[in-house]
Amino acid sequence: MVYCNECGKKNDDDAQYCTKCGNYIAEGSAFEKNIEKAAEEFGRKAEQFGKRMEKKVREFVKSENESLRSKAKNCPSCETEIDSDAKFCWKCGNEI
């Protein structure tokens, strides 16, 4: 698609004149190049944002996992992991 540098309308690649305003469409117009440049910049920024969010999510998951591990304890009889507030083991029934 080729964009008109007057009105911004999308036109077919082989169009020489805009179907909306009749303006001559120069191949690789400044308007089209500006759109491509802005799209590339947007793509770079979106990728950077995605990487930052991925890092934050990994940090959060690691923190939550550590928190959960610190709340867990093991049954003295069968060594099964049980909740810290459990009074009986869910696997062997032993009183904690």
Tokens 């930052």, residue located: 52
pLDDT at 68: 73
pLDDT in tens, 68-95: 777 678 999 999 988 888 899 999 999 9
Is 70 exceeded by the pLDDT of residue 28?
A: no
As a whole number, the mean pLDDT across the chain is: 88
pLDDT at 20: 96
- Three-state SS annotation for 9-41: CEECCCCCECCCCCCECCCCCHHHHHHHHHHHH
Higher model confidence: residue 34 or residue 19?
19
Tokens 């007057």, residue located: 6
pTM of the entire structure?
0.44
Q: How many angstroms separate the CA atoms of 73 and 94, rounded?
A: 14
